[in-house]
A and B are shown apart, each in its own frame.
Chain A
Amino acid sequence: MRKAKTISEKIFSDHLGRDVEAGELVIIDVDFMMGQDGTSPLAIKTFEEVGASSVFDSKKIAMVIDHNAPSPSEKVSALHKLMRNFKDQNKIYFYDIGDGICHQLMPEQGHALPGQIVIGADSHTCTYGAINCFSTGVGSTDLAIAMASGKLWFKVPETVKIVLNGDLPFGVYSKDVILFIIKELTANGATYKAVEFEGEVIDNLSVQARFTISNMAVEMGAKVGLMKADDKVLEWLKNRTSDEFKTYESDYGAQYEKIYNFDLSDLEPQVSKPHTVDNVSSIKDVEGIPIQQGLLGTCTNGRLEDLKIAAKILKGKKVNSDVRLIVAPASRSTLLEAIDEGVIQTLIKAGATIVAPGCGPCVGTHNGVPADGENVISTANRNFKGRMGNNKAFIYLASPATVAASCIEGKITDPRKYL
C-alpha cells in the first residue's frame, strides 16, 4: 500500500515522478522563481560567474523592485539599473517601483499557483502556502543557479500540523492568530519544517487574511506555511491565471513531526514586543505604552482588507498629533482599489502619510526611519533591533486594527472599542 503523505511529500513526489519522503535530499525542477532588489543584484553577479549565456526560461522568472522603491540613493540606483539591464537582456517578468511588494505580486499576478514549487530570494516567500503553493525563501546563489538551470536542491521537509479551532472573537484578526502561534511555538519552533495550517479558523478566513498567517510562518523558522485550496482559493484564483494546476491535501495517516491543537474562541488582540517576534503579549499587558510612529502596510498586512479595517477605525477621526502614521499599500492594484473605495481618502483625511507601494519603512531603508528611543507600532512581520533602520528604536507588531486605534490615542490601544 502507498504510504500516507503530507502535502509537501505529495508535491515533491509528483514533481519527481517517484515517491519521496521527508528527509530526502532531492533536485527539483522549479516552477517559478523570483528575486527582489535586495537579493537580485547578487544573484545577477553570481549568474555571470556561473557562465550561463541566458536564463533557462524567461517566462518562469520575475524580478521586483520593492525594497528601495523609489531609490533613495545613487548606490541603490546603480543596483536597480543592473536589474533593469538584466531584464532587457533576458526578457523576464519585471515589476518596477510602485508596482508593489513581491509577495503580493507573485500570487496576484498568477505567478504562484497551487501545487507548484516556487522559490523566491526573500525569506517571506513562504506566503503563497496560503494558496496551496509550496513556496519558500532561498538565497542569491540559489536564485542564480535556478535561473541558469531551472533546478534547485531541497530537503523534503518534515511537517508540523497546526489545527486552529473555534470562532475568532470580534476584533481579533489573522495577525493576532499568527502572533499567538509564534508565541506558543517560539522563533525556532518549526525550523526546517513545513507547516500545515487547518481547522475552522482558517476555513472562515478570507484568502487575503490567510496570506498574513502563511507570511509569518518563517518567523518560527518554517520553510512554508501550507493551507489547502478550498473554494475561496479557487475563486480568488479566477481571472488571475489560465494555467492548469493541481491542488493537494494531506493523506489521512500522514506522518507529522508534531501536531498542535489550539482553540482560539477566547483569543485577545496580540502584540509582539521588541526585539523578537516571539515576545508576544495580550493587548491588556501592553496597553498605554506611548508610540510615536505607526506603519500600516508590508507583505504581512498591506492588502485591501487591512487598509479597510484601519480606515473604518480612522474614519472621521484624527491621528494623534504626536504620531506619524505611514501607509504603504501592498501593490499598485491594492492602491487603486483602495482609492476607488474611498479608503485612501479616509486615511489621508485622518492624517496618514501614503508612500509608494513597496517594502518601504519595514526594512529600514527609507520612508520612515524612527528616531532614537522612539516606539513604533507596525503591521509588519519583524521587530528585530535595527530593523527599521535605527537600532535604538523599539518596534511593536500588531494587527491593522490595533495599529489604527493606537495611532488615534498615541499609545498602544485595544482596537475593540473603536469597532
Chain B
Amino acid sequence: MQLIGYAHKFGDNVNTDYIISGKYKFATIDMNELVVHLMEDLRPNFYYEIKKGDFIVAGENFGCGSSREQAPLVIKQAGIGAVLAKSFARIFFRNAINIGLPAIEVSTDSIEEGDSLKVDLEKGIVENITKNQVLKIHPLSPEMLEILKLGGLVNFYKKYGSLEFKKFN
C-alpha cells in the first residue's frame, strides 16, 4: 500500500472527544453528518482544509479516550489517507485497522505542517519529500496489513468466511 499526501500536524494526547465531540456522535451513525465537525475543538474548520489523501500527523497517545469507532470513521470519511503518530491509544489503533484506516507508528517529530509525505506500508517507510528524509515505521503484522489491504475487518471476514489468521507473509 502506497499513500501520498500532505501533513496536518497535531500534538500529544488527541482524544476521541476532540476527534469528534460526544455531543454529535451519540445522535447519529451517519458519518456524512459528523464529518464536518472533525477536530473542531482543536482546529475549527479543519474538515475544509483537507485534500483527499492527506495525513493527520500527531504525537503520543493519539485517539485516547472513548472506544467509539466514530472517531476513526470520521477521519476516514474526511478523506484522510492515514494517521501517523508516535503512539496510539489501543482501542483507537484496533478500530482504525478494523475499518481500514492505516494507523502508523513512526517518529513524527521532524514532520511539519504541510510537508509532502509518501507512505509505503510494505517497505515500512515514510518518505518526507519536502525534507528529503526517510523515516522507519514500527512494522505492522502481516495479519494487520492484510486487514488494511482488504479495507477492513468486515471484508477480511467476508473473504475468508471466518476469523482465522493464516500466514500472509
A residues whose Cβ falls under 8 Å from a Cβ of B: 25-27, 37-39, 41-42, 45-46, 49-51, 67-68, 73, 75-76, 79, 120-123, 125, 137-142, 144-145, 148-149, 151-153, 187-188, 191-192, 221, 223, 276, 363-365, 382, 384-387, 389, 391
Interface positions, chain B 44-93, Cβ under 8 Å from A, are 60-61, 64-70, 73, 87-91
In the bound assembly, the distance between CA atoms of A318 and B60 in angstroms comes to 44
Query: Is the CB–CB distance between B69 and A68 below 8 Å?
Result: no
Interface positions, chain B 1-58, Cβ under 8 Å from A, are 13, 15, 17-18, 21-23, 25-29, 41
Q: Is B94 located at the chain interface by the 8 A CB criterion?
A: yes
Q: Which residues of B contact A50 (CB under 8 A)?
A: 154, 157-158
Q: Which listed segment binds A: B109-117, B128-136, B160-168?
A: B160-168
Pick from A141, A151, A363 the residue with the most CB of B within 10 Å. A141
In the bound assembly, the distance between CA atoms of A76 and B15 in angstroms comes to 23
In the bound assembly, the distance between CA atoms of A227 and B153 in angstroms comes to 32
- Closest partner residue, chain A, to B22 (CB atom): A364
Residue from A141, A187, A191 in contact with B69 in the complex, judged by beta carbons closer than 8 Å:
A141
Given the known interface contacts A141-B153, A276-B13, the answer about A386 and B41 at a Cβ–Cβ threshold of 8 Å is yes
Q: Which residues of A contact B69 (CB under 8 A)?
A: 39, 42, 139-141
- Closest partner residue, chain A, to B25 (CB atom): A38
Q: Which residues of A contact B154 (CB under 8 A)?
A: 46, 49-50, 141, 144-145
* A-B interface pairs (CB < 8 A), number: 141
In the bound assembly, the distance between CA atoms of A152 and B156 in angstroms comes to 12
* Top-5 shortest CB links A-B: A139-B95, A188-B61, A141-B98, A139-B69, A75-B27
Query: Is the CB–CB distance between A365 and B157 below 8 Å?
Result: no
In the bound assembly, the distance between CA atoms of A221 and B92 in angstroms comes to 11
Residue from B28, B60, B95 in contact with A141 in the complex, judged by beta carbons closer than 8 Å:
B95
Q: Which residues of A contact B144 (CB under 8 A)?
A: 25
Q: Which residues of A contact B67 (CB under 8 A)?
A: 39, 120-123, 125, 137-139
5 of the cross-chain contacts (CB-CB < 8 Å) are A42-B68, A138-B95, A139-B95, A221-B61, A365-B26
Query: Is the CB–CB distance between B13 and A137 below 8 Å?
Result: no
Query: Is the CB–CB distance between A188 and B87 below 8 Å?
Result: yes
Query: Is the CB–CB distance between A187 and B23 below 8 Å?
Result: no
In the bound assembly, the distance between CA atoms of A75 and B34 in angstroms comes to 13
Q: Which residues of B contact A387 (CB under 8 A)?
A: 17, 22
18 new A-B pairs (CB below 8 Å) besides A27-B165, A46-B154, A140-B95?
Answer: A37-B26, A38-B66, A75-B27, A75-B28, A123-B67, A138-B67, A139-B98, A151-B162, A187-B64, A188-B64, A191-B61, A191-B89, A221-B89, A365-B22, A382-B17, A384-B17, A386-B23, A386-B41
Q: Is B143 located at the chain interface by the 8 A CB criterion?
A: yes
Query: Is the CB–CB distance between A187 and B61 below 8 Å?
Result: yes
- Closest partner residue, chain A, to B13 (CB atom): A187
Query: Is the CB–CB distance between A152 and B163 below 8 Å?
Result: yes
Given the known interface contacts A25-B143, A188-B87, A188-B89, the answer about A73 and B13 at a Cβ–Cβ threshold of 8 Å is no
Q: Is B152 located at the chain interface by the 8 A CB criterion?
A: yes
